[in-house]
Amino acid sequence: MHFEFSGTQELYIEIAEKYKGYIEKGVIHSGEKLPSVRQAALELGVNPNTVARAYSLLERDGYIKSFPKKGVYVSYASPSDEKPDTDIPDLRDEIRKLLSYGISKEALLSQIEEIYSENDNRKSEEGEK
């Protein structure tokens, strides 16, 4: 990661904004450990208090979580970390319709299992060819 400071705003705010950008773009992922305040200060060439203030802003805004004696971790899930809901079609209306026809949950789950099993068998047969 590369930090260049513009000098147009307080240094700790610039540091916080840079980290936010990296987190939002998925360069730094949720659950990833950030450098300690001292280590980040050494890397950036700034006072540790400056980094501590930046981390405080990031924690306040929900980007990181600090754990005493364990470190600072990213707690923000960027859109690139999340799987979009559009991958799975919304079947709730279809399921409600089946429910209104009196089909039990067990019967529906049984059919789902059967269909997935058939699909798995077909894939394994295709792989053997």
Tens of pLDDT, residues 3-55 = 777 778 899 999 999 999 999 988 898 899 999 999 999 999 999 999 999 99
Could you write out the DSSP letters of every residue in 55-76? HHHHHHTTSEEEETTTEEEE--
Instruction: Compute the Cα dihedral for 115, 116, 119, 120 and give only its sign.
Output: negative
Q: Which stretch of DSSP H or E encloses residue 33?
A: strand 33-34
Element housing 34 (H / E): strand 33-34
- pLDDT tens-digit readout, 90-106: 778 888 888 888 989 89
Q: Does the pTM exceed 0.85?
A: no
CA-closest candidate to residue 95, choices 87, 86, 104: 104
